[in-house]
Amino acid sequence: VSYKNLEEAIRAAGNPVKMLRNSQLGPYVYPVVPSEFSNWRDEQRAWRETCVLFNQSYHMADMFIEGPDTIKLFSATGINSFGTFAVNKAKQFIGCNYDGYVIGDAILFYLSKDSFVLVGRPSIHNWVQYHAEKGGYKVTISRDERSVARDVPIVRRLYRYQVQGPNAPQVLNKLNGGPVPDIKFFNMGEIKIAGRKVRALRHGMAGVPGLELWGPHEEREEIRAAIVEAGQEFGLRQVGSRAYATNTLESGWIPSPMPAVYSGEKMKPFREWLSGNGYEATAALGGSFYSDNIEDYYLTPWDLGYGPFVKFDHDFTGREALEKIAKNPKRRKVTLAWNGEDVTKIFRSMFEHGQDPYRVLDLPLTNYASLSYDKVLTGGKTVGFSTFSSYSYNERSMLSLGILDNEVAEVGTQVSLIWGEEGGGSLKPTVERHRQIEIRAIVGPVPYSREARESYAEGWRTGKK
Amino acid sequence: MSNRNLEELLQSAGGPVKLLRNSQIGPYVYPVVPPEFTSWRDEQMAWQHTCVLFNQSFHMTDMYIQGSDSLKLLSNLGVNSFKNFAVDKAKQYVACSHEGYVIGDAILFYLDKDLFNLVGRPSVHNWVQYHCETGEYNATVERDERAAARQGPLMRKAYRYQVQGPNAPGVIQKLIGKPVPDIKFFNMDAFTIAGRKVRALRHGMVGQPGWELFGPWTERDDVRNAIVEAGKEFGLRQVGSRAYSSNTLESGWIPSPMPAIYDGDKMKPYRQWLSANVYEATASLGGSFYSDNIRDYYSTPYDLGYGPIVKFDHDFIGRAALEKMAANPKRRKVTLVWNPDDATNAIGSIFQDGPHAKYIDFPSAVYSTLPYDKVTKGGKTIGVSTWSGYSFNERAMLSLAMIDAEYSEPRTDVTLVWGEEGGGSTRPTVERHKQSDIRVTVAPVPYSEIARTAYRTK
């Protein structure tokens, strides 16, 4: 069945929650890149101890926006300040709906005068494109969709790599044939690799300097080969698709907010404009947090840790609502460290006959939906969500990025999360029949540091009672 | 790295065990096919309960052998009988060294008069090609390498699919629009699917009726789409690369014997003929079984469960040695079922600080081209365990092993040592770890209930 637009798809399903929860999309893939180059444990270790090459050329949508009204368009749809935005700078661009809930976020690159590219999950691309088309902005838009298909030739406009980790500066200096220019965080410059000019965004994970590099797709292999070659003496590892997405557990970015587009009369024209088989219509919702009201899944910029980006120095969609929320944000982003003994019980259940196992933890990336929402409890009361989750070999722990009520968000607080879905599980292809299990977890900071669980918390790691 | 051939490479590496144990090749991949279509659990369940589509188009080497002497060539090297071999039949082809140890095995298809295709891991292909080129045979070989051994765009001569599972007959019947012809196991037929001519080998990989389908590469999408579409009402699942290689744990075929070519003067010309970047040169050897003598890794056809196909009705390399072994085979192929608590403890160790067990990946726990783990009883090594992994159907970690006959009775308790010595080798797939003893119980091969009763009842 295909629907003309999102609004029709929702109407046919009866409820957006129902639609998303039983999505038949299958796994959320990080395509093309091999699963593992060496092994995912050592690939994770390398971003902490030596350095890595992330190949980000395939899993994100690029949208190129050009024209004299571009800044005006971004300013009208983004919560960010554009006061000092200039060529060779980039931003974590965030768009909200009229009620101040996040539609999506992506990296916005200011490439040259009136020329930008927006890179990320496509919900924010769609929102910006919609306004560009409906709002009479003098801009042109061209999209380069992420690759989901596999065994057909995949041609994109750009390659996109990151070189990250403590040894990244040495690798980059070597490639550049001299010190790389001193570029500030989220500013852009240019370096030389294999005789080619390569544009570079200063980026970093958990405080360690790195660069994001891009250029024409047809140069991808020679650039990649040069990075791998130069990285050899510095312990560089290429990161495969199984480890890739798990790096965000250590850096703290939540990749998967529910796009706040499914409800409200004011958003209806947008839903009618959106495709009936796009990201918003096909995304899979998974986890133990249940509500029939889609708005219970919506997140504010503060929930996601974007509070500091919200700037009331311009007019934008959602401003009024956000001005109210700003006075008293209710929730905070945290990292949850899962109790190792409880996690091990999940594995033990895979060897039992006669009853369904607990929801299997597929390591290292344990998400089984595009949008992961697990319930977090204290004393039987729901106090927030656990979203993206993965195992970290660096921390020897399951971690998840949580959004918790302020009262329970203090580092060291003990909470629990429910892993698995109700009633044996939803109809998603990634979900086999399973039982739910309660997992104890300790609240930690974002980005994560094991300090938290070792010195603050009582319990299983510290032996404190 | 200027070694001209395998023999030179072995000299400079300090011997085969050293070479293979420190191979830098990385994971043994099942390329191109996505890791999962639904989930590996769901895909595993489908081959026992509904039906599956395996896409085998990428991970095996095809070698076409053509000419009036092809059968003679194959017969001179194969332990199998060729008496009743005819067009539209296939064989599990096994070749041995002069001393009767297995070099490799593959499926041999009798495609047409004087035309054969050999499909599998390339060690047996290389051996056949060597004899074809250096012997006096009126035959030629043409190779179509597996995806991992090629560069550039992926073009192969043939696609190769399997439709397997209890509902496979229903799917095939729907695809061909008539009742499924009653062809015998390992015999071939021709079907028309989506208007395309498709050749079909009657096969049953996990104890269920099934077909292996192949045809021209350019028709691969048409045929696959037709199978997926027809399979919908039968619960067909496409199997991803993660589940794919675990299916053999239930059916019992050991994919990874050590090619018996690394020692002996008689094999030296062959090693000099093999180049320095072939499968035999780059394969990685892993696991807890250690010996400096490469011969300790070799297997006989009897160890691998191929005893019944060894036929002394023709002359072939290794015959004399095998005639001696036949009287008293020392080892038997078994399935080892891991103790749930020991398996859990090993996995659970990665959630604690300090040294952990070698990580057990799900569903395939194999981390080398040639996995060799030690199996012990009372501290004494009594055999080797090869392929290991998890079966959601059986809710168990299983290993395929070859152990001394006296311990091979079902329900015998033995121990499998999981992980490598000294923190692990330098291979890319091996993170630092400690070894752990896993209690295991001997079970028959094939393990799955259905496979045990229905497989190969010809």
* 465 residues of chain A, pLDDT tens digit each: 789 999 999 999 999 999 999 999 988 888 889 999 999 999 999 999 999 999 999 999 999 999 999 999 999 999 999 999 999 999 999 999 999 999 999 999 999 999 999 999 999 999 999 999 999 999 999 999 888 744 466 789 999 999 999 999 999 999 999 999 989 999 999 999 999 999 999 987 656 779 999 999 999 999 999 999 999 999 999 999 999 999 999 889 999 999 999 999 999 999 999 999 999 999 999 999 999 999 999 999 999 999 999 999 999 999 999 999 999 999 999 999 999 999 999 999 999 999 999 999 999 999 999 999 999 999 999 999 999 999 999 999 999 999 999 999 999 999 999 999 999 999 999 999 999 999 999 999 998 976 555 554 443 333 343
d(CA A221, CA A225): 6
d(CA A259, CA A264): 13
CB-based burial label for A153 (10 Å; 0-12, 13-18, 19+): exposed
CB B43 within 8 A of CB B239: yes
Number of A to B CB contacts under 8 A, please give it: 110
Query: How confident is residue B182, by pLDDT bands cut at 50, 70 and 90?
Result: confident
Q: Is the pLDDT of residue B360 over 60?
A: yes
* Pick from A304, A308, A309, A298: nearest CA to A333: A304
Residues of B contacting chain A (CB within 8 angstroms): 26-27, 29, 32-42, 45, 153-154, 241-242, 340-341, 343-344, 347-348, 350-353, 356, 359, 361-362, 367, 390, 392, 395-397, 428-431
Q: Lowest mean pLDDT of A57-71, B184-198, B202-216, name the range.
A: B202-216
Selected for mutation to probe chain A from B430, B431, B439 (highest A CB count within 10 Å) is: B431
* pTM of the full structure: 0.94
Q: A221 CB contacts (<8 Å, ≥6 apart)?
A: none
**Arithmetic mean of pLDDT, B104-126:** 98
- How distant is the Cα of B356 from the closest Cα of chain A, in angstroms? 10
Q: Is the pLDDT of residue B194 over 60?
A: yes
Q: In whole numbers, what is the pLDDT of chain B averaged over residues?
A: 94
d(CA B234, CA B232): 5
Q: Where are any strands of DSSP class E within A208-295?
A: 208-216, 236-238, 285-286
pLDDT the model gives residue B317: 98
Instruction: State which H helix or E strand residue B117 sits in.
Output: strand B115-120
d(CA B415, CA B336): 9
Q: Which tokens in the block code for residue A197?
A: 């000019």
CB-CB neighbors (< 8 A) of A363 in chain B: 361-362
For residue range B278-335, what is the model confidence (pLDDT) as tens digits?
999 999 999 999 999 999 999 999 999 999 999 999 999 999 999 999 999 999 999 9
Residue A270 CA to its chain's centroid (Å): 23
For residue range B52-72, what is the model confidence (pLDDT) as tens digits?
999 999 999 999 999 999 999
CB-CB neighbors (< 8 A) of B350 in chain A: 391, 393, 396
Q: Is the pLDDT of residue B211 over 70?
A: yes
Residue type, A408: V
* Pick from B170, B360, B335: nearest CA to A39: B360
Contact B350 A391 (CB under 8 A): yes
Q: Count Cα neighbours of A410 within 13 Å in the Cβ-side half-sphere.
A: 8
Task: Search chain A and give the residue with CA nearest B46.
Answer: A432
For residue range B386-411, what is the model confidence (pLDDT) as tens digits?
999 999 999 999 999 999 999 999 99
pLDDT the model gives residue B456: 39
DSSP annotation of A455: I
pLDDT the model gives residue A163: 97
d(CA A303, CA A286): 19
How many other C-beta atoms lie within 10 A of the C-beta of residue B276? 18
Selected for mutation to probe chain B from A339, A349, A350 (highest B CB count within 10 Å) is: A350
Query: How confident is residue B30, by pLDDT bands cut at 50, 70 and 90?
Result: confident
pLDDT the model gives residue A461: 36
Torsion of CA B23, B25, B30, B36, to 10 degrees: 110
d(CA B80, CA B93): 7
